[in-house]
Each structure stands twice: as structure tokens, then as C-alpha cells.
Amino acid sequence: MMFSVVPMMWRAVRPSKVVDMPAVVNSFWMRKGYEGLTFFGQILTPSEETANLFKVSPAMKNHEMIHLRQAQSCGDSWLRFYILYIWYWLRALPANRQMKHGAYLLNPFEMEAYRHMNNLNYLTNNEANEWRKFAKMKLRDRLAIYRGNVPITSL
């Protein structure tokens, strides 16, 4: 389990070459309570039950597919996507003092994915570039949007 992610990285193809992302169980890297993590073109999940959720919940699958499209928008590079993801997460760490999982939920990539995962047509005509707008915003402005205090039209 620990090392099974290595061939996943090794054999990874560019984000634009990924057509569908299968859910793969990995209880070493994915703790219970977490649902899924887009990992170089596959979705890591902690258990079979959670893996099945991605088959029955189109919104959950859509969330991960939005991350795939975001990786395509990062110069079609997984590495660039993950470096940026970690960078934004680090910069949002102060938000953990204001809300639970703040650094995660105010990550620009997650904000876009959570806001649009229920819209199953989101990726049909969309480049998944909204994260760029969030990335330029101050943390407190992102928090206001997350809390619904700012209308979507003002973005």
C-alpha cells in the first residue's frame, strides 16, 4: 500500500491524456474520513465503500474531474498542479484558526471544485480556470465568498 503509489506516479500520463479517473483503494495514504484525492490521473480512496461512492455520486466524481481539468490548465502538468496546490495550502494555513479545515477549503483549487461539483455540466464548456481568480484574492475575501457573503456575480 505504501509504495503502490510510486508506479501510479511513474506511469502517469499528462492530464490532457486522462479520459476517466478510476477510484483506487489505498488505506495507507488515505485515512478514514477522507473521501478522495486526485492522484496523477486516478482517485485514491480509503476503502471499497468510498470507491463505490464515486460510481454512485456524480457530484463526487465531478469534483475530482474538475481537479483533472485544473491540472490541464496548469500547463498540462501534474507536478505544476501539485506544487501550486501545496503552495496555496501553505499560504492559507492561517485560515485554520478561523474555521475547521480552512487551509483546505479556501485553497483556490478546492473552492472551484466545491462550488461547481453539483453542476454536472460545469466541465462541458468550461476550462476550470476559476481557481485563478481565487488565487489572486486575499484570504479574508475568499472566506467571505466561502461563507456566502459575496454574490457569485461579483467574481
- Our CB check for Zn ion shows the closer of 106 and 113 to be 113
Q: What's the N-to-C CA distance of the chain in angstroms?
A: 42
Of 135, 121, 125, 15, the C-alpha closest to 67 is 15
State yes or no: residue 103 binds Zn ion (CB under 5 A): no
- Region from 80-88, 103-111, 120-128, 136-144 binding Zn ion, contact rule CB under 5 A: 103-111
3-state secondary structure of 143: helix
DSSP-derived secondary structure letter, 34: -
What's the closest the beta carbon of residue 64 comes to Zn ion, in angstroms? 7
Q: Which of 51, 65, 92, 113 binds Zn ion (CB under 5 A)?
A: 113
Of 66 and 143, CB closest to Zn ion: 66
Of 3 and 46, the one with the shorter C-beta distance to Zn ion is 46
**Please, how many CA atoms are within 13 Å of residue 1, restricted to the half-sphere of its CB?**
12
- Name the site residues for Zn ion (rule: CB under 5 A): 110, 113
